[in-house]
Amino acid sequence: MKPNKNLSLLLCGQSLANIGDVLYVVSIISTIFVLTGSATAASFVPFTITSSMFVSSLVTPLLMGKVNLKWLMAGSQIGKTVLLILLGFMLAGITTSNYYRMFLMMGLIAFLDGCANPVRQTLIPHYVTPEKLVQANGIAETVTQVIQAAMWFVGSLFLMFMSSQQLIWLVGCLFVVASILLCYLENVDHKPTEQKGKVELIKEGWRTLANTPVLKKIAWVDFFETIAGTVWIAAILYVFVSDALQVNQKWWGFINGAFFLGLIIGSIYCVTCSSFIEKRLGNFIFVGSLAGFFVTVLFSINSIPIIALLLSLFVGISAQIKNIPQQTIIQTSVSKEHLATVYTSLGAIETGVFGIGSLAMGILADFLGIRFVFILSGLLLALVSIVVFKNKNLFVRNVME
The residue-averaged pLDDT of 125-138 equals 82
Higher-confidence position of 118 and 38? 118
Q: CB neighbours of 211 closer than 8 A, spacing ≥ 6?
A: none
Verify that 217 and 182 share a domain, yes or no. Answer: no
**pTM strictly above 0.75:** no
Residue 345 has pLDDT above 80, yes or no: yes
Mean pLDDT computed over 208-215: 86
Pair (142, 178) in one structural domain = yes
Least confident of 70-79, 98-107, 123-132, 214-223: 123-132
Q: How confident is the model at residue 131 (pLDDT cuts 50, 70, 90)?
A: confident
**Domain shared by 201 and 147, yes or no:** no
HSE, CB side, 13 Å, CA atoms: give it for residue 127: 26
Per-residue confidence band for 370, with pLDDT thresholds at 50, 70 and 90:
confident
The packing angle between helices 100-127 and 69-91, to 10°, is: 160
Rounded to an integer, the average pLDDT of 368-393 is 91
Give the pLDDT band of residue 50 (cuts 50, 70, 90): confident
Q: What's the pLDDT score for residue 401?
A: 47
Cβ(261)–Cβ(311) below 8 Å:
no
Residue 400 lies in a domain: no
Whether residue 383 sits in one domain with residue 256: yes
Domain edge (last residue) among 164, 187, 210 = 187
The CATH number of whichever domain residue 136 belongs to comes to 1.20.1250.20
Average pLDDT over residues 244-260: 79
Whether residues 181 and 148 fall in one domain: yes
pLDDT in tens, 62-82: 777 677 888 888 999 999 999
pLDDT of residue 190: 60
Question: How many other C-beta atoms lie within 10 A of the C-beta of residue 306?
Answer: 10
Give residue 43's pLDDT band: very low, low, confident or very high (50, 70, 90). low
Please check whether residues 200 and 166 belong to one and the same domain: no
- Output the pLDDT for position 9: 92
Domain boundary among 139, 168, 187: 187
Q: What single-letter amino acid sits at 248?
A: N
Phi-psi sector, 123: left (phi>0), alpha (psi -120 to 50), beta: alpha
Instruction: Tell me which residue range forms the domain holding 315.
Output: 196-395
